[in-house]
Structure 1
Amino acid sequence: MSLDVTHHQGAEARPVDRGAFYYDFASPEAYLAAERVLNVLPFAAEWIPIRAPRAWDDGFRCAEERAVAQGEIERVAAARMLQGVRWPPEGFDSELALRAATYAKQIGRAVAFSLAAFRQAFAGGADLGDTDVVLIAASACEMHPRAVLQALERDAVARALDEATEAAVARGVVSVPTVWTPNGELLAGDAALDTVKP
C-alpha cells in the first residue's frame, strides 16, 4: 500500500506538506488532543479516524491504575478549561462512530463530527456504541440522519476505515492519538503536542 499522502484513501491530490491526526473515539487521550490539535500544530493536518492499534487501557494492571489514569485525564481537562469529564461506559465499542467519522471525512465534516462525538463521549458520558448517540453528534454538524444510517451500513465506508487503519499502522502508528508530521515524524500521545514548535 502506498504511503504517499497525496493518494491516501484514494482522495483528491493533497500537498506533501500536510500532516495527519490519527484518533479513535475510545481514547480519552485522543479527546484531549482533538480539543487542541487545530491550535497547536504549525501545519495543516488531515483528521483521520482509525481503529486504535492498541487500546488506551491495555497496559493497566488493575482497577486502581485505571482510576489514576482517569484522574490524570480529568486533571488535564480541567487545567485546559474543558467541560468536566463524564466517563462513557467502560469498554464501549467505537466502531459505529468511526464509520460515521469516515463518512463525515468523505463529505468534508470530519473535524466537526469528530469533536461533537468526542464531546458526547467524554463531556456527556454517552455511549458511542449507541446509534442514537452517533446521530446526535452527526446532527450537530448538519449531517442528515438517513444519510448517516446508510453510510454506517455501506461496505465502502467500512473499507475506507480499514484502509486508513492499515495506512496508519504502515506509517508506524501504534497508539492514538498520534500526529504524523510532514517530515515523517510521529508524535504519539497528547503530551507529545507540548513539544511542537510554532
Structure 2
Amino acid sequence: MPQTVGSSTDRAQPRFYYDLASPESYFVAERALHAVGEVPEWIPVDLGGAFRCAAEVEAYKEDVERRAAALGVMPIRWPDPFPADIEWATLAATYAKWIGRGVAFSLAALRQAFAAGRDLSVPDNVLLAAAACEMHPHAVIKGVELETTKRALAEAHERAAADGIDTVPAIWVDGQVLAGERAIPVV
C-alpha cells in the first residue's frame, strides 16, 4: 500500500503525470493535490492508448466503469469518439501550465471529457475548459501554436521517460513511481 509522503526541504517536488484522454487521470486528479503531503507539479503528457479493436475499447470502458464505481467516482460519461486524438488539448494544458493555470485548466478539461462526455479533440470543447479558468480563447489558440509550447510538451515527454513513467496517471516522488488510480489513497 502506498504511503503518504511528507514534505521535506531537501528533496525534489513530487510530479503528477496525467493524460487528458485517461479516465484514470480523471479519477486521480483531484486527489493528487493532497496525496503526497504537498502539492505536486502537474505535467500533462499524451501517452496514447494502444487499442487494437472496438471490442478492446468496450472491454476497457466496462473495466473503467467498474473501477470508478468501486472508487466512488461519479459515473463516467464517455466522449465520442473514445479514444480521440487529444494533441491539441494536451498542448493547451501545456500552455496553461506555462501561464500558471495548469491545474485549473486540466481539472476543467478532465471534467469536460469524463463528467460531461465532451470530445477533447474538438477545440471548442477545450476552449470551454479554458473559459472555466478564465483563459481567453484567442490566447489559448495562439498559445497552442507557439513553438515554445510544442517544445515544452516534448520536454515533458522526455522528463516522464527519465522518471520511468510509462503509464498514467503516475506520481513521481523521490525517484519512486506510484502509478494508476490505485496509487492514490481514496480520501
Residue 37 of structure 2, aligned match among 33, 39, 42: 42
Residue 113 of structure 1, aligned match among 105, 108, 131: 105
1:163 paired residue number: 155
Alpha-carbon distance, 1:61 to partner: 6.4
1:132 paired residue number: 124
Alpha-carbon distance, 1:43 to partner: 2.7
2:61 paired residue number: 70
Moved more, 81-90 or 145-154: 81-90
1:174 aligned onto 2:166 = yes
Match of 1:48, SS state, is strand
Q: 1:49 to 1:18 in 2, by over 3 A?
A: same
Match of 2:38, SS state, is coil
Alpha-carbon distance, 1:62 to partner: 5.6
Amino acid in the other structure paired with 1:26: A
Alpha-carbon distance, 1:81 to partner: 4.3
Tell me how far apart the structure 2 counterparts of residues 179 and 154 of structure 1 sit (CA, whole Å). 28
1:142 paired residue number: 134
TM-score, normalised relative to structure 1: 0.81
Q: Which runs of 5+ in 1 are unaligned?
A: 1-13
Match of 1:151, SS state, is helix
Match of 2:15, SS state, is strand
Amino acid in the other structure paired with 1:161: L
Identity of aligned residues (%): 51
Moved more, 64-73 or 18-27: 64-73
1:185 aligned onto 2:180 = no
1:91-143 deviations in Å (ceiling 9; x for gaps): 21111111111111111111110011011111111111111001000000000
Moved more, 170-179 or 131-140: 170-179
Residue 16 of structure 1, aligned match among 5, 8, 11: 11
Amino acid in the other structure paired with 1:29: E
Q: Spell out structure 1 runs of 4+ moving beyond 6 A.
A: none
Residue 25 of structure 1, aligned match among 12, 16, 20: 20
Q: Which runs of 5+ in 2 are unaligned?
A: 1-8
1:101 aligned onto 2:96 = no
Q: CA RMSD in A?
A: 2.2
Moved more, 72-81 or 135-144: 72-81
Q: How many residues align?
A: 178
